[in-house]
Amino acid sequence: MSNNPIPNSKPFKPNDERINKLGRPKKFTTELAEHGYKLSEVNDSIQAIMAMNEQEIKEVLKNNDATMLEKTVARAIIKSYEKGSLFSMDTLLSRVFGKPKESVEATVEQKIVNVTLKLD
């Protein structure tokens, strides 16, 4: 019997073509930092666009000087608004301000067990 915990899997061999030599894909914000965006600037852009009214957001989409980040956020907000969905807004708000604290209600039952020990 094999020691491999995953059935029907093949172990890697030296120079196996299946090995991802480039490593894990970078996160979106890490890639933005390489192109001149810092995390705080991404959050500031999202926050500024979310504070705009519908006409201002549509102007961002038409503006040729707007960055792709600004256009992407603006388009997501407009689509979300037109669909009547709050998903994009919730995602953007969570991105900028973090998720709100959630409360959990739990009931715990306590049982008393009496133990008697007789030593002879």
- The segment with the largest mean pLDDT, out of 8-17, 36-45, 48-57, 92-101, is 48-57
The answer to whether the CB of 69 falls within 8 A of the CB of 42 is yes
Q: What is the pLDDT of residues 62-97, one digit of tens each?
A: 988 888 888 989 999 999 989 998 888 888 888 888
28: pLDDT strictly greater than 80: no
Average pLDDT, the chain: 82
Least confident segment among 20-29, 38-47, 75-84:
20-29
pTM over 0.75: no
Q: What mean pLDDT is predicted for residues 24-53? A: 76
